[in-house]
Structure 1
Amino acid sequence: MSSTPPSRSRPWDVHRLPSAEDRTVLVTGGNAGIGYFVAEQLAATGAVVLLGSRDSAKAEAAGASIRARVPGARVRHLRLDLADLSSLESAVDGLNLGHLDAVVHNAGVALDDPPRRETADGHELMFGTNHLGHFALTRWLAPLLSAAPSGRVVTVGSFAARSERLDLDDLQSTRDYRPKRTYGRSKLAQMSFGFELDRRLRAGGSTVLSVVAHPGGALDSLTPSRPTLPRTTPGERLRALPAGILVQGKDAGAWPIVRAVLDPGVRGGQLWGPRIFGLRGAPRPEPALPHMTDPAVAARLWAASAELTGADAHLGFR
């Protein structure tokens, strides 16, 4: 993948991204899955890419894989554990940066089976990691993002959020825990946060943008091989080919997220996803469903998140 100078007249080409040599981007969960390909594609633009991961060995392996494919790639590891809220302030302090151009809130936990599990802080694991961890991280990153010429917070949502609704009286799924539903609700909470954050940033006159993006349908079996990713057999790839009519690999799933980070035409409060049925293809802005952008629900979620994480309701943006 090559990088080209930005041009407002050139159509967006996922294979010829604009140069971002002067930018620094943190990708949470950048060592695996969608996050890995977001990091790899951003590294090809010349950006400094920080891989946020609690596993140093996996992050180093991902960095080595990116450097092997992108000569001269500037990739660093930030030890980051979103399930341990008390560790986030010191992690951000360890960045030693004057500003941060963008953060991609991508890392996530997805459990398929009971029992219900909790973080070190006593929060349900998926809600606590996927939503509360990113909410708290944003608090500590706010000064760095505000110091950037045009900082961005890109929150990665999911198709799983489309059919879910938040239970504001049971955000931690203590009464009725079903893993797939709890995961979908955690991703919906992330998306609600992303839209509400932009409303608050605009109201406060901030230059930081908050954008939501999702990868559509992204399968391991349609994803190019990388040393750090799950390996698929030739037979699995062959069986997955018919699904390629509707869905895609995780490399293509990264495209809307990368565009949300880089494109100067992206506006705060937008939702970006794949062009074809929201499942595959080149990135485009798409309308968000009303339950994702409901300001009354978002306000209650925000207040609960601030209380659960001990964050100031303004999150420190200026």
Structure 2
Amino acid sequence: MPRAVGKTFLVTGGNAGIGYFVAEQLAGTGATVVLGSRDADKADAAAASIRSQVPDARVRHIRLDLADLGSLKASAEALPTDRLDAVVHNAGVKFDQPPRRETGDGHEAMFGINHLGHFALTHWLAPLLAAAPEGRVVTTGSFAAKSERLDLEDLQSTRDYQPERTYGRSKLAQMLFGFELDRRLRAGGSTVRSVVTHPGGALDSLTPPRPPLHAPTTGERLRGLPAGILVQGKEAAAWSAVRAVLDPTVRGGQLWAPKIFGLRGAPRLRPVRGHLADAEVAARLWSASLDLTGVEPEFGPGRPGPSGAAAAVHP
């Protein structure tokens, strides 16, 4: 991986799972890595684990609660930098069983956290990303989005809540956001790039131990080995996002995913087609997201910090 000394990266949900390994790998480049997490104790434990793997790692933490849209401005202002070279929109929730849950803002939880939270956070981070020579917004999608379609009349799943479907649609919304953001960045002449990734299939049993964060037993690891034919551990699942952050050849609007059936292996460039390339649906989702959050990601050169007047807020 190329060195990134002097750069600053934010990883949402960087205290656990795939996000942890994204943060660990980025810390290995010499960059400052900021973990966005609701839980300070979990973030401290993740930072200690990263430092045990990467001597002299530069790791910080900010409180970040994507379920609380009103808190995101303060989270952006807490970043210990005057520029942000990349944000990895990794954090997310998945519920396997009913009942339907809502955030404190009244949004269906998976759609609200996975998509709306990141949409609004990008607004508040825009000035810092625009201040970098080539800022990047890396949005983490999912293989689950491949078989789903958005219901633009029921984005909050109020009429037909099925957890698996709702999760897949929330990840599809994230991916459509990433591609629409790229279109808007290019139209505005911004130097910021928006890249979409997905990690493939990732299992805890195939993931290297990082005690106390992750400590699978020998039996669990052995039982998981046959699945390695099709999927991978979370360390490898982090590669797509890490490449999207670091590779100088990566361009905005691209999709990076594991090369073997989109489930495992080194990341490769994948075609953006079908419903992922539907610019009309993406534009309608953008408009709905603006209405639901009250803010809109807008970028421009030389913009002030998150508390400055140029950060556009819509009533």
Would you say how many aligned residue pairs link Structure 1 and Structure 2?
300
Equivalent AA in structure 2 for residue 93 of structure 1: E
2:236 counterpart of 1:236:
no
Aligned to 1:209: 193
Equivalent AA in structure 1 for residue 268 of structure 2: R
Q: CA–CA distance in 1 between the matches of 2:93 and 2:273?
A: 24
Aligned to 1:50: 34
2:180 counterpart of 1:196:
yes
| Structure 1 residues 228 and 89, CA gap change in structure 2 (3 angstroms) | farther
Q: Deviations over 1:151-172 (max 9, x none)?
A: 0000001001011110000000
Q: Answer yes or no: is the 8 Å Cα contact 1:274–1:283 preserved in 2.
A: yes
Q: CA–CA distance in 1 between the matches of 2:80 and 2:207?
A: 34
Q: Answer yes or no: is the 8 Å Cα contact 2:51–2:57 preserved in 1.
A: yes
Equivalent AA in structure 1 for residue 45 of structure 2: A
Q: CA–CA distance in 2 between the matches of 1:239 and 1:105?
A: 31
Q: CA–CA distance in 1 between the matches of 2:160 and 2:230?
A: 33
Q: Which runs of 4+ in 1 moved over 3 A?
A: 228-231
Shift of 1:143: 0.4
Q: Which runs of 5+ in 1 are unaligned?
A: 1-16
Equivalent AA in structure 2 for residue 260 of structure 1: A
User: In the alignment, which of 78, 82, 86 is matched to residue 102 of structure 1?
Assistant: 86
Q: CA–CA distance in 2 between the matches of 1:240 and 1:282?
A: 20
User: In the alignment, which of 152, 166, 171 is matched to residue 150 of structure 2?
Assistant: 166
Shift of 1:98: 1.2
Shift of 1:231: 3.2
Q: Which runs of 5+ in 2 are unaligned?
A: 301-315
Equivalent AA in structure 2 for residue 273 of structure 1: A
User: In the alignment, which of 71, 75, 79 is matched to residue 87 of structure 1?
Assistant: 71
Equivalent AA in structure 2 for residue 164 of structure 1: E
Determine helix, strand or coil for the equivalent of 1:77. strand
Equivalent AA in structure 1 for residue 274 of structure 2: P
Q: Deviations over 1:30-58 (max 9, x none)?
A: 00000000000000000100000011000
Q: CA–CA distance in 2 between the matches of 1:88 and 1:306?
A: 15
Determine helix, strand or coil for the equivalent of 1:284. strand
Q: Which has the higher contact order (CA 8 A, sep 6+)?
A: 2
Aligned to 1:270: 254
Equivalent AA in structure 2 for residue 151 of structure 1: G
Q: Deviations over 1:235-290 (max 9, x none)?
A: 22112111111111000000011000000000000000111111111111111241
Q: CA–CA distance in 2 between the matches of 1:292 and 1:106?
A: 19
Q: CA–CA distance in 1 between the matches of 2:281 and 2:298?
A: 22
Shift of 1:228: 4.7
Q: CA–CA distance in 1 between the matches of 2:277 and 2:88?
A: 19
Q: CA–CA distance in 1 between the matches of 2:214 and 2:80?
A: 33
Q: Answer yes or no: is the 8 Å Cα contact 2:45–2:213 preserved in 1.
A: no
Q: Deviations over 1:18-40 (max 9, x none)?
A: 10112100000000000000000
Aligned to 2:299: 317
Q: Answer yes or no: is the 8 Å Cα contact 1:162–1:289 preserved in 2.
A: no
Shift of 1:195: 0.4
Equivalent AA in structure 2 for residue 317 of structure 1: F
Q: Answer yes or no: is the 8 Å Cα contact 1:58–1:228 preserved in 2.
A: no
2:81 counterpart of 1:76:
no
Q: CA–CA distance in 2 between the matches of 1:213 and 1:106?
A: 10
Aligned to 1:118: 102
Aligned to 1:180: 164
- Cα RMSD of the aligned pairs, angstroms, is 0.9
Determine helix, strand or coil for the equivalent of 2:129. helix
Calculate percent identity across the aligned residue pairs: 75
TM (norm. structure 1) is 0.93
Q: Answer yes or no: is the 8 Å Cα contact 2:8–2:81 preserved in 1.
A: no
Shift of 1:292: 1.3
2:277 counterpart of 1:293:
yes
User: In the alignment, which of 103, 107, 111 is matched to residue 127 of structure 1?
Assistant: 111
Q: Answer yes or no: is the 8 Å Cα contact 1:196–1:293 preserved in 2.
A: no
